[in-house]
Amino acid sequence: MAKRKPGKSGSKKKVRVEFRKNRGKTARDKSQWTREFHQDKTKSDDAGTSENVRAKGDLSRKRTIIVDEESTAGLVKGTVVRMRGLIAEVDDGKQIWACTVRRVLRTRQIDERHPVAVGDRVFLTRVEMAGEKSTLMSDDCELTEGVIEEIEPRTTTLLRHYDRRVHVVAANIDVVVIVVSADQPTLRPHLIDRYLVAIHQGEMRPVICINKADLDVDGHAAAVAERYRQIGYVVLFTCILDMRGIDALRAELTDRTSVLVGPSGVGKSSLLNVLDSELKLKVGDLSDLQRGRHTTTTASLLRWQFGGFVVDTPGTRQFDLVKLASEEVEAYFKEFVDRISGCRFPDCSHTHEENCAIQDAVDSGEITAERYDSYVKIYEECREKERRN
């Protein structure tokens, strides 16, 4: 195994990172150091910050840690592009490495399924066996084996609860595209609301994409699109058959790092293929959808020809939220935020109280019943978790 090369002594920097106990309120790291580390330099200043919503009494919880530059000097820098079980595939700009993770890093994050995620920026060393480089096979490709020694603090994370652990869907993302379809599979707006909560929680920019516009025979999907536009979200109505909305979607993704999320079969990989003709991703057919079969099975980070990066993810039927307190939920419903001060009780949960500005807005039609029902469902879910813990 390769030894770490010694670095210059005394080269330490202060970095402000998210406090571990933070209930999901992220400290977006604005330090120059992190900014410089962005190898792709695609992060634009407005991305992620323009959609921020804040909870009442929100505290900026950051702690300062000392990052020892010595520990990363001489190591290979790269980005995790794919996870294959316990192996992380890392792109250093020249080649893809197959990496395991140093044990000390594995014990650091016990509540997460895996200490590294797609989009993580890492430092690695080469594994050598008797002086020879070691290789691992992945999809018939022979990759040089490495060990991840350090992981950069993440600027953003999209988290979900899965299999009783926290799953980092992707790290260091600017834009999250929630992809759903007008039909096949059936459009479920509640799922959009769950994603929106996680995206706001992670301080990323959401874009809603309703694909398969050709299947919207009764105008239901168009009405859903309008509902979210009214709240102030960017909503694109797309179709890969007549290319509706494709240029507008490309404009949202150019020079940014984004991730496409949503149920299986909605057309995430199909959209990527039409957005960039160089990508030749496998897409499913109707029988896959009917049998509930996923076509994309692992998340992977891809480079756009037109600038920026994108993560294609496998479809998810459910999306369970992480580290979310019941009183925080209101802050992630954009159209609620400015009305909350009108509630009679400062700790109003907007579920049963008298003189509630949110329930009044539902009665007058300013807040839709669908969005309110989503809020109550997520709120009750969080309450239930709090009662059990």
Ligand X SMILES: Nc1nc2c(ncn2[C@@H]2O[C@H](COP(=O)(O)OP(=O)(O)OP(=O)(O)O)[C@@H](O)[C@H]2O)c(=O)[nH]1
Which member of 79, 295, 349, 374 binds ligand X (CB under 6 A)? Answer: 295
Residue matched to tokens 């260091």: 172
> How, if at all, do strands 205-211 and 234-237 pair?
parallel
78, 146, 202, 267: which one binds ligand X (CB under 6 A): 267
Cβ neighbours of residue 122 closer than 8 Å, sequence gap 6 or more = 77, 78, 79, 80, 88, 90, 99, 116, 148, 149, 150, 151, 152
Q: Which is nearer to ligand X, 58 or 285 (CB)?
A: 285
Q: Is 295 one of the binding residues for Mg ion (CB under 5 A)?
A: yes
Is 26 among the residues that bind Mg ion (CB under 5 A)?
Answer: no
The span from the CA of 154 to the CA of 83, in Å, is 17
**Does 300 interact with ligand X (rule: CB under 6 A)?**
no
Residue whose CB is less far from ligand X, 9 or 287 = 287
311 bridge partner residues: 259, 301
Stretch that binds Mg ion, among 60-68, 162-170, 265-273, 328-336 (CB under 5 A): 265-273
As given in the structure block, the two tokens for residue 100 are 């395991």
Binding segment toward ligand X, per CB under 6 A, in 118-126, 136-144, 207-215, 365-373: 207-215
Other CB atoms closer than 10 Å to residue 69's CB: what's the count?
15
Q: Is 270 in the site for Mg ion (CB under 5 A)?
A: no
List 269, 316, 326, 349, residue binding Mg ion (CB under 5 A): 269
Within residues 323-352, the interface with Zn ion by CB under 5 A covers 343, 348, 350
Is the CB of residue 158 less than 8 Å from the CB of residue 202? Answer: yes
Instruction: Give me the least distance between CB of 274 and ligand X, in Å please.
Output: 8
What count of other Cβ atoms lies within 10 Å of the Cβ of residue 234?
A: 17
The count of chain residues that interact with Mg ion, using the rule CB under 5 A, is: 4
Residue in 356, 362, 367, 378 binding Zn ion, rule: CB under 5 A: 356
Judged by CB under 6 A, the residue of 33, 68, 314, 323 near ligand X is: 314
Helix (H) or strand (E) holding 176: strand 175-181
CB-based contact 37:152 (threshold 8 Å): yes
- Kindly indicate which of the ranges 6-14, 119-127, 152-160, 353-361 contains the residues binding Zn ion, using the contact rule CB under 5 A: 353-361
241 forms part of the interface with ligand X (CB under 6 A): yes
DSSP 53-117: ---TT----EEEEEEEGGGTTTPEEEEEEEEETTEEEEE-SS-EEEEEE-HHHHHH-TTBS-S--
Contact region with Mg ion (CB under 5 A), list: 75-83, 93-101, 228-236, 266-274? 266-274
Residues found in the chain: 389
Q: What is the DSSP letter of 167?
A: E
Per-residue contact flags (x/-) with Zn ion for residues 266 to 285, judged by CB under 5 A = --------------------
Q: Which does 356 bind (CB under 5 to 8 A by kind): Mg ion, Zn ion, ligand X, none?
A: Zn ion
Residues contributing to the site for Mg ion (CB under 5 A): 268-269, 295-296
Q: Which residues bind ligand X (CB under 6 A)?
A: 211-212, 214-215, 239-241, 264-270, 283-285, 294-296, 314-315
